[in-house]
Amino acid sequence: MRHVVKATSLMLAACSGGGSGNNQSDEVAVAQVQEPTPENLLDDPQNSAVPLGSRGNAIPGPAPLATIPARFQGRWGMTAADCDPSTGADKGKLTIAGNRLAFFESRGDATRIVQTQPTQIAFDLPMSGEGAKWSERTTLTLLEDVKMLVRQKTVPGAKPETIRYVRCPA
């Protein structure tokens, strides 16, 4: 890589040295070319070789949201029986209303909600149920034309868990 920079510097010097009389600008042009791009971009943590967002195009981050979007709202079940509360077998149900997630014996209100993809949101979820309190980081992803919901939860000190739900009929 350094050989290319030196060759480019020599070509610039040769092209501009034909009597322009402006040696100062020639030196500036050569100095700008001589900053080599690192072969391993991890060696450039300040992104000086390829500055991110340098032209007013900042790379967008997750978009903060005030509430959980409507397409995530509703009743969801891990099985068809979870969608029928009259059976008493609805232990795998999940109801999302506003920022509240209610499960069979626990509930929590989502905070710091961000949209990470068009069909995905992530948030902190302080939970309570059966006399206990805990917090989990939750990601909800909609699949199959909003008919399936995938919930990924991470509780500090525990293994991450992924649970799939189907939308219950209205």
CATH code for position 99: 2.40.128
In this structure, the answer to whether residues 20 and 72 fall within a common structural domain is: no
In this structure, the answer to whether residues 13 and 79 fall within a common structural domain is: no
Reported as type and span, the H/E element at residue 8 is: helix 2-16
Higher-confidence position of 80 and 33: 80
- Indicate if the pLDDT at residue 160 is higher than 90: yes
In this structure, the answer to whether residues 27 and 104 fall within a common structural domain is: no
Per the domain annotation, does 55 fall within a domain? no
In this structure, the answer to whether residues 35 and 82 fall within a common structural domain is: no
Q: Cα separation of 9 and 31, whole Å?
A: 8
Full domain range(s) for residue 23: 2-43
Per the domain annotation, does 39 fall within a domain? yes
In Å, how far are 54, 86, 162 from 59, measured between CA atoms? Answer: 10, 49, 29
- Indicate if the pLDDT at residue 163 is higher than 50: yes
Q: How confident is the model over 71-125, as pLDDT tens digits?
A: 999 999 999 889 988 887 789 999 999 999 999 999 999 999 999 999 999 999 9
In this structure, the answer to whether residues 13 and 71 fall within a common structural domain is: no
Position of tokens 């600008």? 25
Torsion angle of C-alpha atoms 135, 102, 114, 147, degrees rounded to 10: 130
Using an 8 Å Cβ cutoff, are 100 and 107 in contact?
A: yes
Q: Is the pTM of this model over 0.75?
A: no
Number of domains in the chain: 2
